[in-house]
Amino acid sequence: MSAEMRLKELGLQLPAPAAALANYVPFTISGKILIVSGQLAFGADGKLAPEHCGKLGAQVSPEAGREAARLCAINLIAQARAATGSLDAIARVLKLGAFVNAAPDFTAIAPVVNGASDLMVDVFGDKGRHARAAVGVAVLPLDSAVEIEAWFELA
């Protein structure tokens, strides 16, 4: 089943791709590689929900962090579609680079980032299985709980 069909089957509506927050572009393409800049956990309204702001292990629960990671993945997919015109132009998800706004003693970073990884596999099937880095950081833009970037191979 194609990624576009899976998206419909999952009942997911992609939001309008978010504009860059500073002096960078939302994505670049070089040869058959699409790199999507880090995406925050913006909802369909283009805003960060209060439960997706702050530090995991302090203001943000692991469950809310996982949902924030899933929203980041939805926004990555929206950027990928904007870059290519169709998700079916994606041959493979190569890598996710995930940053989690974490309290110093919060160590459950990998399960939080699974919110994004699981969605990539749900949408792209086996082509969605990817390499990954999941890193705890002191702060993220707009106090987002999670930020994730992605590398895709184009067909």
The arithmetic mean of pLDDT across residues 73-99, rounded, is: 97
Per-residue pLDDT at 117: 98
Percent of the chain exceeding pLDDT 70 equals 100
- pLDDT tier at 94, thresholds 50, 70, 90: very high
pLDDT at 21: 85
* Per-residue pLDDT, 145: 98
- Give the domains, in start order, of the chain with CATH numbers: 3-11+25-154 (3.30.1330.40)
Residue 132 pLDDT level (bands cut at 50, 70, 90)? very high
Return the pLDDT at 57.
96
Q: What percent of the chain has pLDDT over 90?
A: 94
Please say if the pLDDT value at position 1 is more than 90.
no
Beta bridge partners of residue 133, listed in sequence order:
97
The answer on pLDDT for 33 being more than 90 is yes
